[in-house]
């Protein structure tokens, strides 16, 4: 859920914007476009980040998420459109006047300054008095639990500690927006999980609007109030983690968020919000969504999560015939890879590889590679999209 | 016993050329040292018996003046080269324009291939009394009589700056290219304008390059011969030209050798002092 600012301050009166009862969004992008030469890195983008929100820009590398972040920060100039931060037009404002905090991928801690000097840098640049700097640096270091290390050099710190310093340095200036550029990618896996929880806790406590860039869908799902899924310079979907996970609006989103299997199918009929598809001889209902433009009989792809498929004995009615290809032990669960036999589906490729996720280890003994099995496809929780291209 | 594993079978092959070069340098230095410790026999290239007299000769005013002038000229040249070269190196590293990058690279690096002598003669064309600079200034009406560049210290320094600039630009560019742009971006996001971000972050982080560039320019200038010889025309006495006069005009090899050694010691001593004085700045770079 979005944590809105409690105080409903009067709306900023901007030219061309009607007064609204809500506070101005923390960040607003109106039709922003960015090109590099002939390549469009970011197609026309409209986006609002609400006050106090934790918004994640998620997508594979080259999807435009870092471009979008750099546009918000002011490191890049938009080729078209306007950018507002806290209700103020900042399209032409240089980064040093935008009052934003940034945590860089490699932290970019100044190596020639102590931890305290790093954290106090933004305050010194703003001409804050010495006593106040010392006080606020102390508070910021307390916040990230590094009080004892003020006089250290950044090089003497571990990766996790460096990240905390970077966070303290970005937060101490009380930024209007906190921008995080893949901040966890340099940390090892165990530390990453702990830092995520801690960062989220600090963010919630301070209520600071945060825009987080990542290619890691796990990070995005666990930390965000809302996720902006991007690919090829375009926003594909904006929604809560649950919305993008369970109700992807786009083929790309369905394939990108979480592990997923693709089952070739045919469209039977579209009726209002629902559509009927057949996978081999199984009839299933899905959200009509993107299928509205398809003619009955068209080939479609049905997406189903590995943990939603169930294993049945071979030949059981209402299942898809398949053969076990491999069993992959994953500790808490087993991933069973199976080759589907879809030869009965007209026009569909002969088969396809699917993954079934099974808790426990039972399958290791009973389903050796080569075993014929039946796959039970759930009635609900399926989404379908027209095939690519 | 286990058989010995030869981890680096090609090492002797790689090291041999270096050893040969080093041996040649040591032999040359030994020859110079030998000359410097033996008496000068006028009219002969052979030397007399062992003596320290040659080093006493170095206290003559003309030699002391040359030593002092050399250090001053080298210092001024290195300083001017640094001030001129830094913006050029910065532009080279930071510009996104391929054209500007190429122009800087070509103008900064190609002089290296021309050699000191060619460049120095080019400067005589530019700086001469009827040369380019004087002709221009006269045309514009700024001066009535030509400014004397040739055979002056100013002329020598101008030419030396040009000769030394490529090395300085290359060394500074290497240092600047190593500085992650995110440092500047971090500074800017924290409220530092471009000038303050440069002064508080980029400049301190580039100090190791500045110190290395300065000392290299200093040594480069110290060993310069053609430029002070041609532009200075014998009127600007520096160690290298004085050694040449003593050795190849007067054939006084022993004193020339002792002056060479004195120059070497002076150059090393000055560079050591510069490095030492720069240590706090270098530490700022934090590398």
Interface touch A73/B185, C-beta < 8 Å: yes
Strand bridging mode A54-58 / A226-231: parallel
Q: Both A185 and A314 in a single domain?
A: no
How many structural domains does chain B have?
Answer: 1
Residue B76 is assigned to a structural domain of this protein: yes
Is the domain of A84 the same as that of A220? yes
Which of A229, A251, A273 is a domain's end point? A251
Report if residue A14 sits inside a domain: no
- Higher model confidence: residue A305 or residue B47? A305
Give yes or no for residue A385 having a pLDDT over 60. yes
More confident residue, A13 or A179: A179
Rounded Cα gap, residues B195 and A16, in angstroms = 35
Is A332 found in the same domain as A202?
A: no
Whole-prediction pTM: 0.82
pLDDT at B2: 59
Are A345 and A196 contained in the same domain?
no
Q: Which domain holds residue B81?
A: 58-285
User: For the residues B206-222, what does the mean pLDDT come to?
Assistant: 91
Shared-domain flag, residues A375 and A268: yes
Query: B204 in a domain, yes or no?
Result: yes
Is A164 part of any domain? no
Q: Nearest Cβ partner of B189 from A100, A105, A111?
A: A100
Q: Is residue B80 one of the residues assigned to a domain?
A: yes
A137 within a domain of the structure (yes/no): no
State the average pLDDT over residues A80-107.
94
The pLDDT, as a whole number, for residue A174 is 94
Whether A369 maps to a domain, the answer reads: yes
Among the listed residues A356, A350, A359, A361, the one whose alpha carbon sits nearest the alpha carbon of residue A374: A356
User: Which pLDDT value is given to residue B261?
Assistant: 93
Cβ density class A5-44: b for 16+ within 10 Å, e for less = eeeeeeeeeeeeeeeeeebbbbbbbbebbbeeeeebbbee
Question: Are B196 and A125 a contacting pair at CB < 8 A?
Answer: yes
pLDDT over threshold 50, residue A276: yes
What's the CATH code of the domain at B164? 1.10.3720.10
| Span B65-71, average pLDDT | 91
ipTM for this prediction:
0.81
Number of structural domains, chain A? 2
CB-based contacts of A311, cutoff 8 Å, min separation 6: A336, A356, A358, A363, A367, A373, A374, A375, A376
For residues A242 and A278, state if they share a domain: no
Structural domain harbouring A338: 260-385
Judge if A193 and A55 occupy the same domain. yes
Mean pLDDT value across chain B: 88
What percent of chain B is modeled with pLDDT above 90? Answer: 44
Calculate how close chain B gets to A189, using CA atoms only, in Å. Answer: 24
Cβ contact B189–A73 (<8 Å): yes
Statement to judge: residues A331 and A190 lie in one domain: no
Same domain, A281 and A370: yes
- Region of A68 please: left (phi>0), alpha (psi -120 to 50) or beta: alpha
Cross-chain residue pair B190–A108, CB shorter than 8 Å: no
Evaluate whether residue A234 is within a structural domain.
yes
In a domain, B105, yes or no: yes
- The predicted pLDDT at position A156 comes to 92
Q: How confident is the model at residue A77, as a pLDDT?
A: 94
Long-range contacts of A234-240 (CB under 8 A, 24+ apart): A234/A43, A234/A45, A234/A64, A235/A45, A235/A47, A238/A47, A240/A1
Residue of B nearest to A118 (CA): B187
- Spell out which chain A residues touch chain B, with contact meaning CB-CB distance below 8 angstroms: 73-75, 94-102, 104-106, 108-112, 121-122, 125-126, 153, 155, 169-170, 173, 179
Closest CB to B189: pick one of A95, A109, A155.
A95
Q: Same domain for A288 and A381?
A: yes
CATH at residue A58: 3.40.50.300
Residue A1, in any domain of the structure = no
In-domain check, residue B104: yes
| Residue A146 belongs to some domain of the structure | no
Tell me whether residue A19 is in a domain. Answer: no
In a domain, B5, yes or no: no
Do the Cβ atoms of A112 and B284 come within 8 Å?
yes
Collect all residues of chain B within an 8 Å Cβ-Cβ radius of residue A73: 185, 189
Is residue B52, in this structure, part of any structural domain at all?
no
Boundary-marking domain end, from A232, A251, A270: A251
End residue of a domain, out of A198, A227, A251: A251
Task: Estimate the crossing angle of helix B253-285 against helix B207-222, to 10 degrees.
Answer: 170
Q: CATH no. for residue A346?
A: 2.40.50.140
pLDDT at A20 over 60: no
CA-based nearest distance A145→chain B, Å: 21
Residue B1's CB is within 10 A of a number of other CB atoms, namely 3
Contact check, Cβ <8 Å, B193/A96? yes
Structure tokens at A341: 């036999």
- What residues of chain A lie within 8 A of the CB of B283, using their CB? 112
Interface test with A, best of B190, B195, B200 (most A CBs within 10 A): B190
In a domain, B26, yes or no: no
Question: Do A276 and A179 belong together in one domain?
Answer: no
**Count of CB pairs separated by less than 8 Å, A with B:** 75
Residue A203 and residue A62 share a domain = yes
Residue A14 has a pLDDT of 45
pLDDT digit string, tens, across residues B131-174: 888 888 888 888 888 888 888 888 899 999 988 999 999 999 99
Q: Which two tokens stand for residue B32?
A: 């110079």
């Amino acid at each position: 859920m979005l944590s809105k600012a409690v105080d409903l301050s009067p709306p900023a009166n901007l030219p061309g914007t009607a007064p609204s009862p809500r506070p101005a969004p923390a960040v607003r992008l109106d039709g922003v476009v960015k090109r590099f030469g002939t390549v469009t890195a970011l197609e026309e983008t409209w986006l609002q980040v609400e006050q106090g929100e934790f918004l994640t820009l998620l997508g594979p590398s080259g999807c435009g998420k870092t471009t979008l972040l750099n546009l918000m920060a002011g490191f890049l100039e938009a080729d078209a459109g306007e950018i507002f931060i806290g209700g103020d037009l900042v399209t032409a404002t240089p980064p040093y006047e935008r009052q934003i905090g940034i945590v860089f991928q490699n932290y970019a801690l100044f190596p020639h300054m102590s931890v305290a000097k790093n954290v106090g840098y933004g305050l010194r640049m703003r001409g804050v008095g010495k006593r106040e700097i010392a006080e606020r640096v102390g508070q910021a270091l307390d916040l990230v639990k590094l009080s004892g290390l003020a006089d250290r050099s950044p090089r003497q710190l571990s990766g996790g500690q460096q990240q905390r310093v970077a966070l303290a340095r970005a937060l101490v200036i009380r930024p209007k927006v906190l921008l995080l550029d893949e901040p966890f990618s340099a940390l090892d896996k165990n530390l990453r999980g702990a830092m995520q929880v801690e960062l989220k806790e600090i963010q919630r406590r301070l209520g600071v609007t945060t825009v987080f860039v990542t290619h890691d869908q796990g990070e995005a799902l666990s930390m965000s109030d809302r996720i902006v899924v991007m690919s090829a310079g375009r926003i594909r979907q904006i929604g809560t983690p649950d919305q993008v996970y369970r109700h992807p609006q786009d083929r790309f989103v369905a394939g990108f968020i979480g592990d997923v299997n693709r089952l070739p199918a045919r469209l039977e009929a579209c009726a209002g919000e629902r559509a009927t598809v057949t996978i081999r001889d199984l009839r299933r209902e899905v959200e009509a969504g993107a299928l509205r433009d398809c003619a009955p009989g068209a080939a479609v792809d049905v997406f189903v999560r590995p943990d939603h498929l169930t294993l049945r004995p071979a030949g059981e009615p209402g299942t898809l015939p398949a053969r076990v290809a491999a069993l992959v032990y994953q500790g808490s669960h087993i991933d069973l890879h199976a080759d589907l036999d879809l030869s009965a589906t007209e026009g569909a490729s002969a088969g396809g590889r699917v993954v079934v996720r099974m808790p426990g280890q039972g399958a290791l003994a009973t389903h050796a590679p080569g075993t014929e099995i039946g796959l039970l496809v759930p009635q609900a929780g399926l989404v379908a999209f027209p095939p690519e291209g | 016993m286990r058989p010995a594993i030869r981890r680096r079978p090609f090492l002797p092959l790689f090291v041999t050329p270096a050893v040969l070069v080093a041996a040649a340098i040591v032999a040359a230095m030994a020859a110079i040292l030998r000359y410097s410790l033996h008496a000068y026999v006028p009219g002969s290239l052979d030397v007399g018996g062992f003596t320290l007299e040659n080093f006493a000769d170095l206290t003559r005013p003309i030699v002391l003046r040359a030593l002092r002038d050399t250090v001053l000229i080298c210092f001024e040249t290195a300083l001017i080269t640094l001030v001129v070269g830094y913006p050029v190196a910065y532009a080279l590293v930071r510009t996104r324009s391929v054209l500007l990058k190429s122009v800087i690279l070509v103008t900064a690096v190609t002089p290296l291939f021309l050699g000191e002598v060619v460049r120095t003669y080019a400067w005589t064309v530019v700086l001469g009394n009827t040369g380019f600079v004087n002709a221009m200034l006269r045309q514009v009406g700024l001066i009535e009589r030509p400014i004397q560049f040739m055979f002056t210290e100013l002329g020598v320094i101008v030419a030396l700056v040009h000769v030394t600039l490529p090395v300085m630009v290359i060394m500074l560019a290497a240092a600047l290219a190593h500085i992650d742009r995110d440092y500047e971006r971090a500074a800017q996001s924290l409220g530092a304008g471009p000038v303050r971000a440069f002064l508080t972050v980029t400049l301190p982080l580039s100090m190791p390059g500045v110190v290395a560039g300065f000392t290299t320019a200093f040594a480069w200038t110290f060993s310069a011969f053609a430029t002070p010889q041609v532009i200075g025309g014998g009127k600007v006495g520096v160690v290298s030209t004085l050694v040449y006069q003593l050795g190849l005009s007067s054939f006084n090899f022993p004193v020339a050798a002792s002056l060479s050694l004195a120059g070497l010691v002076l150059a090393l001593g000055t560079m050591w002092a510069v490095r030492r004085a720069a240590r706090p700045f270098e530490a700022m770079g934090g590398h």
